[in-house]
Amino acid sequence: MKRSLTCLCAAGLIASLAGPAPADDLVIPPWFVHPKGTYEHWDFSAMDNQPPPAPPYPPDRGVINPFGGPTMTIGGNGALYFNEHQGRPQCWQLAPGSSMTFDIPNAGATAPKITWIQVTYWSFVNTRPAIAMPGFVEVAAFDIPVGPAGSGWRWNGSIWVSQTCPPVETITLTPGAANDFPYIDQVVIDTICLCDNLPPGGDHAVPEVELCGDDANGGCNSTPLVFESIAPDSAVSGTAWALDGVRDTDWYEVALEAPGHLLWAANTEFPAALFILTDACPPTVLASAFTDDSPVGGHAAAFADNLEPGVYRLFIAPGSADGGLFDGLPCDAGGNAYAASVSAVPALALPGPPNDRCADRIDITDGSTTYSTVGADTDGLPHAACQFDGQTYHDVWFNYVATCDGALTVSTCNAADYDTDLAVYAACDVCPPDDAFLLGCNDDAPDCAGFTSMVTVPVVCGQCYKIRVGGWNQGDQGTGVLTLTCDGTPCTGCPCAWDLDGDCIVGPTDLASLLANWGSPYGPSDLAALLAEWGCSG
């Protein structure tokens, strides 16, 4: 329903952005810059190499606020200012009982209010500082590591909504966990009052290519396929309609030049569905949000993390979580406008695993091997015979020489903290192996929790095989335990699976070999299996 709320103009000072582009202002709201919006950024750089001035502190990185001067105040006892912490200059440390309070002048109206908050923080327990906003509800939050690499600093973006727009908005940060002493490096606050007498888009929004009633960027729903390009960290304003079983779907394309995360957000005058998609038709949904889910309606944000460089598609259309809206939104009745923004948030560059690349595969043998795909890229090929889209994302590589004539079972079953993918190839020296070398693959194995995997392939004693371990889609990476089991006739001709030295007896020398390789690849379950077979001979 179109709101029947109007905001009166407010007089006040608008200060321009100060200094260079903000380092940790990582997301742009759909309304930037709007007559009823505000923007404030503190990085505490004004305090560099000198004692903190007496509070209250105005924004020292940038401010746009037509309603008055925003301030930050340190309260309670125990807060300390530091010129540097873990590679970042100028930050505050909050102790239990201390606080950081921001007062943001606003229009003051009965219209709904949206507030975006960005906090760069360091915590002993990786917990965001607690945020208190009287009268507001938190509807979304996103949390990622930021640089310097390995420093422990994190960035958190959160979205808050209220049924009214107060004349002054008060935001208070305190430690988010008992006995935590978090450091605060930067705070960015964007706000807007959703008033009917103004469009949802801001001054920086680029109009979409079509007028209401047209369908010039219908994407996968159009013939030929047409997508409208949108630059990262920009906003677009447009319209949508739905009538007589047909709806307008707007499709945009954005290019990620480096690994990162995408935030696709919108203010709408109608119920809308937002999707972040792959660049295929039909696409895979990477993230979704719906503007009618918010307590105040008309705002939503979808966040897709850990994406690789490439082209992604952004979708907005009348609809909700229950499905598309195909009627009741004609152009001549009004209420068709929207403003949307896409933010490309850079991913923290972390060193990949040593076996990230196919050419750097690691030799392993039967038993259990711990592994990580965190920070790995995707250098293997997709296979149409495999599940989902055929690709194994964030892959790492191993070589294995068969210890039996029979069947090799490769498993992450119940032993990984993410959605795994497995592939096995009959080639050790080909990189990357193609379909001709694929022996088997698996995404989700029956009776394996957490979308973990298991695949069994035929093997020949002494032959070398390549094992590829990765994730189901571009957001899936993590750690796990890879277990290899070769069932069949042992290469030694001995029937004892734990005859590690080939003398056809499971005894002290085999135990010594296992203990010498403890942790890679052997572990507690392998020790138990060897002891259970103690004394076996052929």
pLDDT score recorded for residue 189: 97
The reported pLDDT for the residue numbered 196 is 67
How far, in whole angstroms, is CA 192 from its chain's centroid?
A: 25
Instruction: Give residues with Cβ within 8 angstroms of 317, minimum separation 6.
Output: 240, 247, 248, 249, 250, 272, 273, 324, 325
206-346 has CATH 3.50.50.60 classification? no
Q: Which of 5, 28, 467 is nearest to 234 (CA)?
A: 28
CA distance 494 to 47: 74
Predicted TM-score of the model (pTM): 0.67
Q: What's the rounded Cα separation, in Å, for the pair 488 and 510?
A: 20
**What's the confidence (pLDDT) of residue 499?**
83
Look at domain 358-491 and name its CATH class. mainly beta
Q: Using CA atoms, how far apart are residues 155 and 119, in angstroms rounded to an integer?
A: 6
- The whole-angstrom distance between residue 530's C-alpha and the CA centroid of its chain comes to 42
Q: In this predicted structure, what is the pLDDT of residue 20?
A: 36
Nearest CA-CA partner of 372 in 352, 358, 391: 352
Amino acid at 445: A
In this structure, the strands spanning 228-229 and 250-256 are: parallel
Confidence (pLDDT) at 492? 73
- Which residues of the chain fall below pLDDT 70? 1-23, 49, 51, 150, 196-199, 297, 350, 493, 520, 538
* 224 upstream amide cis, omega within 30 of 0: yes
In the three-class reduction of DSSP (H, G, I as helix; E, B as strand; rest coil), residue 276 is classed as strand
Distance of CA 341 to the CA centre of its chain: 17
Q: Do the beta carbons of residue 80 and residue 93 sit within 8 Å?
A: yes
Provide the pLDDT for residue 230: 94
Predicted pLDDT at 495:
73
H or E element: which one contains 193?
A: strand 183-193
Rounded Cα–Cα distance for residues 115 and 296 (Å): 12
Give the single-character DSSP code of 97: T
* pLDDT value, residue 156: 96
- CATH class of the region 37-193: mainly beta
Instruction: Give the side-chain half-sphere CA count within 13 A for 285.
Output: 9
